[in-house]
Amino acid sequence: MVLDITMPGRSGLEVLREIKRTKPSCRARPQHAPEGQFAVRVLKRGASGYMTKESAPEELVGAIKKVLAGGR
């Protein structure tokens, strides 16, 4: 799952915590700008990776493949 942690209404960090609690096998890669502001927090909450919205589409595809293969 690619998750925007700044979505309106509900904190993406709350959503990530709930998803990891209810479906621990789910691999989430939150996406957010500005770079690094939430990286440590989302990784500690179970995310498989982190990248910014400014990342190139090719980077996103590569990151998804890496996470699906079990990487971080």
The string of pLDDT tens digits covering residues 1-49 is: 777 777 778 877 788 788 888 887 877 655 554 556 677 777 777 788 8
Nearest to 1 by CA among 53, 54, 64: 64
**Which residues contact residue 6 at a Cβ distance below 8 angstroms, ignoring those fewer than 6 apart?**
12, 32, 33
Specify the pLDDT at position 35: 53
Q: Does domain 2-68 fall into CATH 3.30.70.270?
A: no
Specify the pLDDT at position 31: 55
Radius of gyration of the chain (CA): 11
Specify the pLDDT at position 10: 80
